[in-house]
């Protein structure tokens, strides 16, 4: 149900200006110009990369069920619209402490570290180091090995300290018992097996997808808590590099660096061997995310604030409509204007 409500929320925000694929790409955390722009323009930062593994097939199936239930309609142009019944369902949605745009899927890396550190310490405490690591990724293995060495995990009292930090963090008021039941049973250790999603779903009588949403929310809250609580020593180290420091995607960051070194769009295209449209996507991303980025070079002798106001008056973010109203501007220019004119980050919005 939570998942369906989130879809309804997105559909509602997208204001009949995007197709039914837009929420799918956003939930998967697709790093394309269009999706990134959607995240910002429609204030959907929370849900970015909520389900990176979601298949098109299961998504379509859920949408189909939602149509059957009469919560939304999808017209012949594939544009979804929320129904009255859908709005009622949406109104029941709880407020999520999700922050997908800030963590961008990296919260999973944090969890991988946490689960392998927990498993290792649990075996250290039991004096039995013969175990198969729960995480298969070599990069995580190396990270955990390095981390444990650095914090001298063999020292007397280390495990106790680590345990106390986890306990303190878990006592955050923003975390519910359900959050913590899920998280703690997704960890495993010496003679303590983990519990699968299916099993959790069965025992908690809650849909598996909803549990996964709560799990993600729980990780976001835990990570926020870790960065706020100055008394913690070990957990902040475990969350190093998890929070995105640049709001740009990696590729856009490289374009931005080249641009800041004084290269033109054409030069960047040839250096990076990328299409013009891709580089333009990057500039739109920069316009959206970098407060100091100026779009004046694309509008040599015009009053940008004035044009932005005119665009706002149209009360749409749909490019095709805007292009009809302002034929003199290219699509690229219109996207830049939208990016600048769009409200700033919507972390608190629901």
Partner 1 sequence: MTNNLHKILFEKFGYSSFRPGQLEIIQSILQQEDVVAILPTGMGKSLCYQLPGYILPHSVVIISPLLALMQDQVEQLKKMGEKRVIAFNSFLTQSEKQTLLNKLEQYKFIFLSPEMVTQEKVKEKLKSIPISLIVADEAHCISQWGYDFRPDYLRLGEWLGDNMDRPPVLALTATATKQVMDDIHTHLNMKKPTQHIQSLDRPNIRYAAIEVDSREGKFDKIAKQIDDFTGPGILYTQSRKKADNYAQKLITKGIRIASYHAGMEQVDRMFVQQQFLNNEIDWVCATNAFGMGVHKNDVRQVIHDHFPSSVANYSQEIGRAGRDGADSLATLFYTKDDEDLSIFVATNDFPDEAHVNVFMEATRNGIQPTQLVSQSLLSETHVRILSYWLSRKTMEETVKILHQLRLQKIQQIHQIKDILLNSTCIREKIVQFFGQAINSKPLNCCSKCGMELDVIVESSKANSSYLTLQSWENRLSSLFHMID
Contacts with partner 1, residue ranges (CB under 8 A):
53, 115, 118, 121-122, 125-126, 129-132, 134-136, 159-160, 162-163, 166-167, 170, 177, 180-181, 183-200, 202-204
Q: Which two tokens stand for residue 196?
A: 């699968």
Rounded-to-integer distance, Cα 215 and Cα 98, Å: 10
Nearer to partner 1, 12 or 206 (CB): 206
Rounded-to-integer distance, Cα 85 and Cα 71, Å: 5
Give the nearest distance from C-beta 342 to partner 1 in angstroms.
30
Give the nearest distance from C-beta 184 to partner 1 in angstroms.
4
Q: Which two tokens stand for residue 212?
A: 């996964």
Nearer to partner 1, 188 or 251 (CB): 188
Give the nearest distance from C-beta 49 to partner 1 in angstroms.
16
SS3 label, residue 232: coil
Give the nearest distance from C-beta 202 to partner 1 in angstroms.
7
* Cβ atoms of 20 and 79 closer than 8 Å: yes
Q: Which two tokens stand for residue 147?
A: 């981390």
SS3 label, residue 187: coil
Give the nearest distance from C-beta 186 to partner 1 in angstroms.
7
Comparing C-alpha atoms, which of 128, 98, 132, 93 is closest to residue 116? 132
Rounded-to-integer distance, Cα 4 and Cα 107, Å: 22
Nearer to partner 1, 180 or 269 (CB): 180
Nearer to partner 1, 5 or 135 (CB): 135
Rounded-to-integer distance, Cα 305 and Cα 307, Å: 6
Give the nearest distance from C-beta 210 to partner 1 in angstroms.
16
* Residue 103 burial (CB count, 10 A): 23
Nearer to partner 1, 210 or 285 (CB): 210
Rounded-to-integer distance, Cα 279 and Cα 298, Å: 14
Nearer to partner 1, 117 or 288 (CB): 117
């Amino acid at each position: 149900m939570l998942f369906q409500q989130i879809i309804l929320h997105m559909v509602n925000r997208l204001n009949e200006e995007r197709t039914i694929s837009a929420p799918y790409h956003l939930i998967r955390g697709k790093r394309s110009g269009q999706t990134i722009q959607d995240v910002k323009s429609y204030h959907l930062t929370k849900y970015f990369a909520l389900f990176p593994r979601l298949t098109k097939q299961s998504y379509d199936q859920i949408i189909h069920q939602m149509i059957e239930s009469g919560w939304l309609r999808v017209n012949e142009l594939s544009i979804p619209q929320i129904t009255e019944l859908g709005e009622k369902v949406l109104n029941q949605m709880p407020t999520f402490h999700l922050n997908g745009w800030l963590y961008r899927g990296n919260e999973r890396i944090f969890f991988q570290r946490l689960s392998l550190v927990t498993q290792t310490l649990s075996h250290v405490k039991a004096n039995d180091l013969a175990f198969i690591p729960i995480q298969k990724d070599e990069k995580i293995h190396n990270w955990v090995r390095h981390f444990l060495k650095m914090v001298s995990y063999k020292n007397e009292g280390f495990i106790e300290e680590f345990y106390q930090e986890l306990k303190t963090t878990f006592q955050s008021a923003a975390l519910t018992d359900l959050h913590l039941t899920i998280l703690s049973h997704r960890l495993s250790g010496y003679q303590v097996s983990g519990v699968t999603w299916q099993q959790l779903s069965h025992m908690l009588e809650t849909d598996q997808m909803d549990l996964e949403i709560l799990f993600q929310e729980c990780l976001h809250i835990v990570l926020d808590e870790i960065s706020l609580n100055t008394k913690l020593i070990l957990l902040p180290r475990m969350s190093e590099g998890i929070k995105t420091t640049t709001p740009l995607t990696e590729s856009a960051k490289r374009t931005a660096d080249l641009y800041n070194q004084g290269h033109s769009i054409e030069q960047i295209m040839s250096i990076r061997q990328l299409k013009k449209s891709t580089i333009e996507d990057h500039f739109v991303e920069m316009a959206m995310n970098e407060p100091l980025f100026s779009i004046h070079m694309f509008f040599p002798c015009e009053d940008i604030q004035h044009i932005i106001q005119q665009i706002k008056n149209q009360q749409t973010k749909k490019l095709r409509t805007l292009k009809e109203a302002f034929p003199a501007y290219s699509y690229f220019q219109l996207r830049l204007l939208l990016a600048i004119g769009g409200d700033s980050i919507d972390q608190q919005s629901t």
